[in-house]
Structure 1
Amino acid sequence: MIDYGGLFLAAFLAATLVPFSSEAILAAMFAAGRYDPLWLWAVASTANILGALVNWGLGRYLIRFQDRRWFPFKARERIKAERWFARYGVWSLLLSWVPVTGDPITFAAGLLRVELWRFMILVTLAKAGRYAVVLFIVYGAT
């Protein structure tokens, strides 16, 4: 059985480019009834926000390595995210919770030098809000 540490790891990886979904783990842990819902929400949200911060840091400080094979964002993804970000601005970070497209948006925010405080506020609202909705849905279904 997964514990809070496993949930943290799943939520952190889900916010990076590792193809992973943490919502199912969060929902299963909540439905099991053995975990505090507030702690589940806090752990998942914190880990997912920290994963997004890694993407921001990659964009801000490690872009010079973009031609390396190990670099997690391909040129196509980067260009798409930059266009999206240029069109919708910093408010597009409210979509950072969206699977697949959210990760490149957080990377583009770093690349385009979005201030860390602004990034953290918008990403926190998006990601913590998403996990709150997941818990609410599972609560209603149980």
Structure 2
Amino acid sequence: MAYITLFFTALAAATLLPAYSEILVGGMVTQGYSLWGIWLWATAGNTIGSVINGVIGRQVDRFKHKRWFPVSDAQLEKARNRFNRYGQWSLLLGWLPIGGDALTLVGGIMRVPWLNFVVLVAIGKGLRYAFVIWAVLQASGTPGSP
């Protein structure tokens, strides 16, 4: 049950919802859960959450001219230009606490091919969770083995 909770917490954390999976990851590491299991479920949930952002981004052009739409054409154009400057490789930074969710949303707007999107986002998310697990192990002195 803890891994499923971690999965959905990590998924929510990758969307625009206010959620933080690092706290749960840290708790599970110190409680002796499988490090591989923690890494796998957190990475999978966070990656799928970013895919949801990408799907939403792909729908932006359908709604951008609606009165209720929260982003102006100028803001969308600015986001597109920034994304084009660094290209799809910027999706490796989708894990960043500030701007990472927006990157995956813009990746969807820019229609990055799904395979590239998922692979790049998963690499970034996986490295982030590996670092979080390592940092918790170092800070707590918890002996960990995969």
Look up the match of 1:5: 4
Which of the residues 72, 75, 91 maps onto 2:71?
75
Look up the match of 1:120: 118
Q: Does 1:58 find its partner at 2:46?
A: no
Output one character per residue of 1:103-126: Cα deviation in whole Å (capped at 9) or x when no partner.
Answer: 111111111111111111110110
Q: Aligned pairs, how many?
A: 137
Distance in 2, matches of 1:44 and 1:68, equals 37
Output one character per residue of 1:69-88: Cα deviation in whole Å (capped at 9) or x when no partner.
Answer: 5x7xx416755543331221
Cα RMSD, aligned residues only: 2.0
Aligned amino acid, residue 31 of structure 1: T
Asked if 2 retains the 8 angstrom alpha-carbon contact of 1:81 and 1:104, the reply is no
Look up the match of 1:27: 26
Instruction: After TM superposition, give the deviation of residue 62 of structure 1 in Å.
Output: 5.0
- Please tell me whether Structure 1 or Structure 2 has the larger radius of gyration of its CA atoms: 2
Distance in 2, matches of 1:68 and 1:117, equals 33
Aligned amino acid, residue 59 of structure 2: Y
What SS does the corresponding residue of 2:98 show, helix, strand or coil?
coil
Aligned amino acid, residue 10 of structure 2: A
Aligned amino acid, residue 23 of structure 2: A
Aligned amino acid, residue 86 of structure 2: Y
What SS does the corresponding residue of 2:29 show, helix, strand or coil?
helix
Q: Does 1:133 find its partner at 2:131?
A: yes
TM score, norm. by length of structure 1: 0.86
Q: Structure 2: any 5+ residue segments left out of the alignment?
A: 141-146
What SS does the corresponding residue of 1:122 show, helix, strand or coil?
helix
Look up the match of 2:15: 16
What SS does the corresponding residue of 1:46 show, helix, strand or coil?
helix
